[in-house]
Amino acid sequence: MSVDATTVRRIAHLARIAVSDAEVPHLQGELNAMLAFVEQLSEVNVEGVEPMTSVTPMEMKKRADVVNDGEIADDIVRNAPDTLNHFFLVPKVVE
């Protein structure tokens, strides 16, 4: 399988990465090189094989469902590019 220019633009949009028209042919070439490389997986017989979901055979530990953290709003917004009163500011989403 390989991707065309339209697909490259669609993937870029899905990934939320702005791509200029001039970058598309180059990206298309790179993505197709990667897809050609992984193509060899189609020769493997995977019939009846379970997909891996956990690499170590262990049960995930669950913690008690209790509040054990909090009151750290200053820490949470400390690195944000734009904030107001402990809120993250973003461009207007609804008119």
Partner 1 sequence: MTDLTSMTIAEARQGLASKSFTALELTEAHLAAIEAARMLNAYVLPTPDRAREMAKDADAKIAKGEGGPLAGIPLGIKDLFATRDIRTTACSKILGNFIPPYESTVTSQLWRDGAVLLGKLNNDEFAMGSSNETSCFGPVTNPWRRGGSNTALVPGGSSGGSASAVAALLCMGATATDTGGSIRQPAAFTATVGIKPTYGRCSRWGIVAFASSLDQAGPIARSTRDAAILMRSMAGHDPKDTTSVDIAVPDYEAAIGKSVKGMKIGIPKEYRLDGMPAEIEKLWSQGAEWLKAAGAELVEVSLPHTKYALPAYYIVAPAEASSNLARYDGVRYGLREPGKNIIEMYENSRAEGFGDEVRRRVMIGTYVLSAGYYDAYYLRAQKVRTLIKKDFEDCFAKGVHAILTPATPSAAFGVGEKGADPVEMYLNDIFTVTVNMAGLPGIAVPSGMDAQGLPLGLQLIGRPFDEETLFSLGAVIEQAAGHFTPPKWW
Contact residues for partner 1, defined by CB under 8 A: 1, 3, 7-8, 11-19, 27, 30-31, 33-35, 37-42, 44, 46, 49-56, 58, 60-63, 72, 75-76, 78-82, 88, 90-93
- CA–CA distance, 94 with 92 (Å, rounded to integer): 6
Contact 82/92 with Cβ under 8 angstroms? Answer: no
- CA–CA distance, 47 with 43 (Å, rounded to integer): 12
What is the nearest approach in angstroms of partner 1 to the Cβ of residue 57? 8
What is the nearest approach in angstroms of partner 1 to the Cβ of residue 8? 8
